[in-house]
Amino acid sequence: MLRLMIAGAIASFVSTASAHEVSTGPNGGPVVDVAGHHVEMVSKGTEFVLYLTDAADKPLASAGTKAARAIVQDAGKTATVALSAVDPNKLVGTLAQPLGAGARIVISATLADGHALQARFTNN
């Protein structure tokens, strides 16, 4: 039992160390830093937008992004939302319903330069 608790604590530390919240972005959403890339999440109604920037907060091209999706866990339900690249630096999707407080979102995508991106957010 103790080993299981320690393993869970280590896994939790590793996942938060790889992507941590930096601040509020220029579009009003939370920002996480993922291996030198910044991802800002903005959700208004059913519109879901991710803004991609580099470590210097300059727009990071979204063109050529592959396998972009958001896994949304909200009110006991889990849904996958396909994300499409929109120039210059956005990934955009449509939610079935607006995000509720406490909804958890996991983003995954492969950028055109081959970097794998994974970010986690909790909607406040």
Q: What is the per-residue pLDDT for 56?
A: 92
Please check the confidence at residue 49 and state whether its pLDDT lies above 50. Answer: yes
Q: Write the class of the CATH domain 2-122.
A: mainly beta
Nearest to 123 by CA among 27, 48, 35, 34: 48
This model's pTM is above 0.85 = no
Q: What is the per-residue pLDDT for 58?
A: 95
Half-sphere exposure of 64 (CA within 13 A, CB side): 8
* Domain boundaries defined on the chain: 2-122
For the chain, the average pLDDT equals 86
Token pair of 13 as six digits: 């530390």
89-120: pLDDT as tens digits: 999 999 999 999 999 999 999 999 899 999 99
Supply φ then ψ for residue 77, to 5 degrees: -115, 145
Farthest-apart Cα atoms in the chain, separation: 49
Question: Residue 81 in 3-state DSSP?
Answer: strand
Sheet with 66-74: list strands edge to edge.
77-82, 66-74, 104-110, 116-122
Token pair of 85 as six digits: 């690249």
Q: What is the per-residue pLDDT for 76?
A: 94
The pLDDT-based confidence of 19 (bands split at 50, 70, 90) is low
